């Protein structure tokens, strides 16, 4: 499997962020072709030192890296990417793409 | 489920890092009580902009946040944490802890 992990830094207004994320972004992102599983963090995101600075972690699973590339290139992927700029503009997100295996 | 995601920044010597991670750290970390699943990234970790600056992503799953706290407090968790300081000293790691649910 391959995974897209998105870290959303703590927004100015968490309630506004959450409303947009859960009501608009998730339905948009769930339309992305090739998406096998979509998970989000619940409650706070911690770190061993305490506050992590991250508000929400999204984990999207695909069959492989080629499927992620195809997802980004699709109309649905472009719509979801454009939406991120609405509720998390600028450098308020970090995205990581990788093949994943159990050890 | 609850998840511990560890981002290891690109080390000075990737071969040395990998040897230690796969031969020493994984066997140590797999002893941590309550660990349900342990996954690592394979090959490079990308970002939409290209290089992510991250060498390896580790994802450890536990039943809930209490299980992660207990894991960190255990002798096996402490040994694994101490080992991280050997192969990834200083601020070369980021750790995120969160409850996770499918949407």
- How many beta-carbon contacts under 8 Å exist across A and B? 96
The helix/strand/coil state of B51 is strand
Task: Label residue A89 by pLDDT band (50, 70, 90).
Answer: confident
List, in sequence order, the alpha helices (H) in B1-103: 14-20, 26-29, 65-73, 75-87
- What does the DSSP 8-state code read for residue B70? H
Task: Label residue B89 by pLDDT band (50, 70, 90).
Answer: confident
Give the residue with greater pLDDT, B51 vs B82.
B82
DSSP letters of chain A? -EEEEEEEEPPS-HHHHHHHIIIIIHHHHTTSTT--EEEEEEEEEEETTEE-SEEEEEEEEESSHHHHHHHHHSHHHHHHHHHHHHHS-TT-EEEEEEEEEE-
pTM: 0.95
The complex's ipTM works out to 0.94
Residue B79: pLDDT over 90: yes
Mutate which: A6, A27, A48, A52, vs B, most B CBs within 10 A: A48
What pLDDT is stored for residue A48 in this prediction? 86
Using an 8 Å CB-CB cutoff, list chain B residues near A53. Answer: none
**Whether the Cβ atoms of residue B15 and residue B39 lie closer than 8 Å to each other:** no
What pLDDT is stored for residue A59 in this prediction? 98
Select from A57, A15, A71 the least CA-distant residue to B101.
A57
Select from A18, A9, A26, A11 the least CA-distant residue to A83.
A26
């Amino acid at each position: 499997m391959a995974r897209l992990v998105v870290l959303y830094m703590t927004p100015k207004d968490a309630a506004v962020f959450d409303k947009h994320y859960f009501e608009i972004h998730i339905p948009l992102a769930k339309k992305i072709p090739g998406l096998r599983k979509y998970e989000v963090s619940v409650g706070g995101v911690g770190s061993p030192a305490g506050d992590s600075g991250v508000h929400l972690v999204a984990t999207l699973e695909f069959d492989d890296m080629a499927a992620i590339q195809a997802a980004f290139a699709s109309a649905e992927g472009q719509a979801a990417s454009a939406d991120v700029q609405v509720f998390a503009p600028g450098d308020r997100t970090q995205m990581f793409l990788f093949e994943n295996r159990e050890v």
